[in-house]
Amino acid sequence: MAQRIHLVLASGSPRRVELLQQAGIEPERLLPADIDETPQKSEHPRSLAKRLAKTKAETAFAVLGERGEGEGRLVLAADTVVSVGRQILPKAELADEALANLRILSGRTHRVHTGLCLITPSGAQRQRLVETRVRFKRLSRDDIDSYIASGEWRGKAGGYAIQGLAGSFVVRLVGSYTNVVGLPLYETIALIGGEGFDIHAPWREAGKAAAAS
């Protein structure tokens, strides 16, 4: 019998876990990688997303190796970067950061880049970069102040969560919606499925459980 492949997610993001669960996939474990996410001088937003995803995956893969637990496990990492032109908007941790981000995004089109990196049990790497364009309406002072008061922006790339209240700001979206949430599902599923992960096994198991109940 072929060895079953397990998935390790190098992230502690509830949003990424929920998106995987939406596709019927439950990571075997979460192994967040604590790395420096500061952009390098003149680094392009796309390059930053790819570099951070790669570093997160490599860090988690190294931890599994040190523990002797890498066999039969795929390590998946992702990093999402929001930008206007070449300007990278920070993950908002303070109200002032969220306020500055929303003022920049107001009435403009921005890009959401997510870098994906998958490391196989043999150490081979597979990378993808997904980009979505999002246009916000012109935000009123009340829109901004009320959104800041909601607290929903905390820890979010670009200072907003499209799956929440800020979804009402979106005039137009071109590309993957799940990418803006934090994990582009189509590309992610294609990536792990291409490396032997049985993406449909949970679907079949759920069907059997439903039939037996």
Distance, in Å, from the CA atom of 61 to the CA atom of 81, rounded to the nearest integer, reads 22
Which CA distances in Å does 117 have to 12, 75, 201, 206? 16, 8, 23, 28
- 19 Cβ partners below 8 Å, 6+ apart? 178, 181, 182, 183, 185, 188
Distance, in Å, from the CA atom of 180 to the CA atom of 112, rounded to the nearest integer, reads 6
Burial track 36-55 (b if 16+ CB lie within 10 A, e otherwise): eeeeeeeeebbbbbbbbbbb
| Residues tagged active-site | 79
Judge contact between 164 and 207, C-beta under 8 A.
no
